Amino acid sequence: MRCSRPPESVWLWIVRLVGAFRIGVARRLAVVHRRTSRSPTAARSAVPDVLAFGLDVVFCGINPGFHSDRSATHFANPRNDFWRLLHASGFTPRLVDPAEQDAVLGYGIGITNAADRTTRGSSDLRRADFAGSAGRLEQLVSELRPRAIGFVGKEAYRGPFGGRPAHGLQERRLGETPLFVLPSTSPANAAVPWVERLRWFRALRELVA
């Protein structure tokens, strides 16, 4: 007997169910990684990592600011261009609000920070704030296998690894994972024009496309 195709509404329901399952698994993996990847003695901000296995790119900021710590979301300052640059460069098909940060897992994107301590600005950080950060990023790459790490600002790279990085692809890799330095999206970096920051975000997008 020939089986008839299920109605289109059934197929749509199946697609939505599978999508919800994938996001649910990704969120559980992210929670597990947050619990196991940081030192239990490290000072923690209220901002959680947004991580899962097999992402296209993990963006690494330098540390949470006061806006982010209050809302427990990444890049929460309304003057920070991070979310707008994600959309404009093609990483996300729509403008994502910081409160929806877990949604970026569905677009192959993760977010973490090089340092946990909340400060008014990155100039308030000390060398000790980055203790263990290089090892944590190495562990992240080993366990979660992202295709690239994008450092949002030179200081986000310099904190864990030192040196004087230029924007763009770095010689250093973590395993097989390339490291890419982007301009800071902070309002404090307003001297770097929007078009210049967008150019580097698009270059990273092309790298992982």
Tokens, residue 51? 């991580």
Q: What is the pLDDT of residue 116?
A: 86
The one-character DSSP state at 50 is B
Q: Does residue 60 sit in helix, strand or coil?
A: strand
pLDDT tens string, the chain, 209 residues long: the values are 444 555 555 444 443 444 444 445 444 454 444 434 444 444 567 899 999 999 999 999 988 888 898 999 999 999 999 999 999 999 999 999 999 999 999 999 999 999 988 777 767 788 888 899 999 999 999 999 999 999 999 999 999 999 999 999 999 999 999 999 999 999 989 899 999 999 999 999 999 99
Measure CA of the first residue to CA of the last residue in the chain; give whole Å.
Answer: 45
Contact 107, 92 (CB under 8 A): yes
Name the β-bridge partners of 137: none
pTM for the model stands at 0.81
Q: What is the pLDDT of residue 128?
A: 85
Q: What is the pLDDT of residue 140?
A: 97
Amino acid at position 143, single letter: E
Q: What is the pLDDT of residue 193?
A: 96
- The C-alpha atoms of residue 34 and residue 32 are separated, in whole angstroms, by 5
Q: Does residue 34 sit in helix, strand or coil?
A: helix
Q: Does residue 199 sit in helix, strand or coil?
A: helix
Q: What is the pLDDT of residue 4?
A: 53
- Residues listed for the chain: 209
Contact 141, 175 (CB under 8 A): yes
Q: What is the pLDDT of residue 59?
A: 98
Closest C-alpha among 151, 145, 132, 197 to residue 174: 145
CATH classification for the domain delimited by 8-208, as one of 3.30.70.260, 3.30.470.20, 3.40.470.10, 3.30.70.20? 3.40.470.10
Contact 200, 168 (CB under 8 A): yes
Domain ranges (residues) in the chain:
8-208
Q: What is the pLDDT of residue 69?
A: 85
Q: What is the pLDDT of residue 42?
A: 45
Q: What is the pLDDT of residue 11?
A: 44
Q: DSSP E strands: which ranges in 117-167?
A: 149-152
- The C-alpha atoms of residue 124 and residue 108 are separated, in whole angstroms, by 32
Contact 60, 151 (CB under 8 A): yes
